[in-house]
C-alpha cells in the first residue's frame, strides 16, 4: 500500500465531486439553509401559535383575558363569531379557539362556576400539549386577579432558584442548529462515499482502476479520506459562520476536540457508505437503503429523543451504532464544554466501531470486485 497512490485516488474523488453540481448543491444546502431552518422552525416550541377568541360576554373581564394572549408564545388573537369557530379549525387557521360564554363575568361575581370552552387542534401535537398548559395558566391568573381586584403574585411556600445551565436563554435555536450539523455530518458522509462508488460502477471507471497497480484497500481509503475531508471542512465552516456567526449560538467547548471526534465518526460512516454501495446495484437502490439506515440512526441515536426514554433493548442495540457515541460526544463538547477526560470513552467507541466497519466493508468491497 502506497500513500502517494491513496492521495492521488482521493484527489481524483475530489475532482469528480467538483464536476457534480447536484452533490455540491446538496453539501451547501445541508450546511447552510438546512441548519438555519432547523434552528428557527422547531415545531416543538410554542412560538406565535394562532389563537381565536369567541367573546360572547363582551365584558371587562373577557377583554382582559383576550389581551393577555400576546407574542412570542401566541399570535395576536383573532376575534371571531361562534359560527366561524368550527370552520376556522377545520381549515387549520387556528391551533386554539376559546369560547367565553354569555354572562361569564356576572356568573363569576355571583359565585357560580361558569365553563370556558377551549378547542385545540391536536394534529399539532406538541404545540397543542404545551399551549393548553399555557392557556390554563393565563386564564387562571387573569380570573384570580380580577376577582381579588388587584394584581399581585402569590408568595410560594418554597422559593425555587432556577438556573438554566448551558442554555440560559432557553433558546430553541441553540439546540436545533447544532443537532442539524450533527445529523448532516452523518447523512452526507454516507451519501458522498456511496455515491462515489456507485458513480464509478455506472460509468465503468472502476474496471479501469482494477487494471492499474492499485489495491481495493487503496481505492477504498482514497474514497474515505477525500469524502470525509469534504464533510469535515463543511461542518467546520457551518459551525463557525452559520451557527456562531449567523445564528449567534455560543460554542462552549473546544472546536478542535470536536473536529477530532467528528473525524473518527466520519471514518465509521464513510465505511458504512461503502458497504451500502456494495449492496446496491444502482442509485435508486442506494437511496432506498439510505432510508432504511439513516432514519433509525438519527432517530434512535439520542439526538432528537433522550436515550433514557427509549426501551432498554433499543438503548443496548444502538450502542453498536457510531451515531450514538457521536451525539453524546458532540453534545458534551459543544453544549457543556467537556474536555478529553470526559469524552474519551466515546472516542474509544468510535475508533472501535469505525475499525470494525472498515474491515467489514473492505471485505465486502473486495468480493464485489471479483
Q: How many DSSP H helices and E strands does the chain contain?
A: 15, 4
For the chain, where do the domains classified as CATH 3.40.1710.10 start and end? Answer: 51-148
| Contacts (Cβ under 8 Å, ≥6 apart) of 343 | 257, 261, 328, 329, 332, 333
What does the DSSP assignment read for 78-112? Answer: EE--HHHHHHHHHTT--SEEEEEPTTHHHHHHTT-
Give the per-residue pLDDT at 3. 87
pLDDT above 70 (res 151): no
Estimate to the nearest angstrom the gap between the alpha carbon of 200 and the chain centroid: 32
Residue 188: band (very low, low, confident or very high) from pLDDT cuts 50, 70, 90:
very high
Query: 154 pLDDT band (50/70/90 cuts)?
Result: low
Q: Output the pLDDT for position 42.
A: 62
For position 43, what pLDDT does the model report? 54
Contact between 179 and 247 under an 8 Å Cβ cutoff? The reply is: no
User: Percentage of the chain surpassing pLDDT 90?
Assistant: 48
List 74's β-bridge partners, or say none. 49
Count of C-beta atoms within a 10 Å radius of residue 111 = 6
Mean pLDDT on 178-204: 89
CATH architecture of structural domain 51-148: 3-Layer(aba) Sandwich (3.40)
**Pair type for strands 117-120 and 78-79:** unpaired
When pLDDT is cut at 50, 70 and 90, the band that residue 1 belongs to is low
Q: Any residues with CB less than 8 A from the CB of 108 and at least 6 apart, and which?
A: 61, 114, 143, 146, 147
Mean pLDDT of the chain: 88
Label residue 313 by pLDDT band (50, 70, 90).
Answer: very high
**Region 152-173: what's the mean pLDDT?**
75
- Residue 33: phi and psi, rounded to 5, are -65, -40
pLDDT tens figures, 291-304: 899 888 888 888 87
Whether the pLDDT of residue 63 is over 70: the answer is yes
Q: Which residue has the cell 407574542?
A: 71
Specify which residues 118 forms β-bridges with.
98
Radius of gyration, CA atoms only, the chain = 27
Q: Please, what is the Cα angle at 178 between 174 and 184, to 5 degrees?
A: 150
What is the pTM (predicted TM-score) of this model? 0.78
pLDDT tens-digit readout, 71-93: 888 989 999 999 999 899 888 89
List CB contacts of 311: < 8 A, sequence separation 6 or more. Answer: none
Mean pLDDT of all residues in 181-197: 92
Kind of pairing between the strands at 51-55 and 78-79 = parallel
Residue 323: φ, ψ to 5°: -55, -40
**DSSP H or E run through 153:** none
For 74, list phi and psi in degrees, rounded to 5.
-125, 150
Q: Per-residue pLDDT tens for 127-141? A: 788 888 899 999 998
Q: Are 210 and 249 in contact (CB under 8 A)?
A: no
Q: 100 pairs with which residues across the strands? A: 55
Burial, 344: exposed, middle or buried (Cβ in 10 Å; 0-12, 13-18, 19+)?
Answer: exposed
Other Cβ atoms within 10 Å of 142 Cβ, number: 19
Amino acid at each position: 500500500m502506497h500513500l502517494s497512490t491513496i492521495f492521488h485516488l482521493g484527489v481524483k474523488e475530489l475532482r469528480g465531486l467538483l464536476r457534480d453540481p447536484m452533490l455540491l448543491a446538496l453539501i451547501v444546502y445541508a450546511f447552510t439553509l438546512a441548519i438555519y431552518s432547523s434552528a428557527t422552525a422547531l415545531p416543538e416550541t410554542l412560538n406565535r401559535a394562532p389563537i381565536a377568541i369567541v367573546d360572547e360576554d363582551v365584558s371587562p373581564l373577557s377583554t382582559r383575558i383576550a389581551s393577555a394572549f400576546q407574542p412570542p408564545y401566541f399570535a395576536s388573537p383573532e376575534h371571531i363569531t361562534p359560527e366561524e369557530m368550527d370552520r376556522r379549525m377545520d381549515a387549520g387557521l387556528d391551533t386554539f379557539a376559546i369560547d367565553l360564554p354569555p354572562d361569564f363575568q356576572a356568573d363569576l361575581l355571583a359565585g357560580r362556576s361558569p365553563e370556558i370552552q377551549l378547542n385545540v387542534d391536536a394534529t399539532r401535537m406538541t404545540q397543542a400539549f404545551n399551549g393548553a398548559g399555557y392557556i390554563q395558566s393565563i386564564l387562571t391568573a387573569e380570573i384570580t386577579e380580577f376577582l381579588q381586584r388587584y394584581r399581585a403574585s402569590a408568595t410560594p411556600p418554597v422559593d425555587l432558584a432556577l438556573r438554566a445551565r448551558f442554555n440560559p436563554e432557553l433558546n430553541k435555536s441553540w439546540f436545533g442548529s447544532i443537532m442539524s450539523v450533527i445529523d448532516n455530518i452523518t447523512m452526507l458522509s454516507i451519501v458522498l462515499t456511496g455515491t462515489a462508488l456507485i458513480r464509478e460502477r455506472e460509468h465503468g471507471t472502476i474496471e479501469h482502476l482494477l487494471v492499474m497497480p492499485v489495491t481495493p484497500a487503496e481505492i477504498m481509503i482514497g474514497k474515505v479520506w477525500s469524502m470525509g475531508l469534504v464533510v469535515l471542512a463543511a461542518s467546520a465552516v457551518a459551525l463557525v459562520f452559520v451557527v456562531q456567526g449567523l445564528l449567534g449560538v455560543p460554542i462552549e467547548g473546544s472546536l478542535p476536540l470536536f473536529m477530532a471526534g467528528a473525524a473518527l465518526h466520519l471514518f465509521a460512516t464513510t465505511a458504512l457508505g461503502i458497504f451500502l454501495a456494495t449492496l446496491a446495484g444502482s442509485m435508486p437502490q442506494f437511496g432506498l437503503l439510505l432510508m432504511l439506515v439513516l432514519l433509525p440512526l438519527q432517530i434512535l441515536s439520542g439526538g432528537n429523543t433522550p436515550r433514557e426514554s427509549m426501551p432498554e433493548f433499543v438503548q443496548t442495540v444502538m450502542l453498536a451504532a457510531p451515531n450514538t457515541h457521536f451525539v453524546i460526544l458532540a453534545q458534551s463538547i459543544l453544549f457543556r464544554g467537556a474536555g478529553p477526560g470526559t469524552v474519551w470513552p466515546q472516542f474509544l467507541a468510535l475508533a472501535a466501531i469505525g475499525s470494525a466497519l472498515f474491515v467489514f466493508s473492505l471485505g465486502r468491497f473486495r468480493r464485489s470486485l471479483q
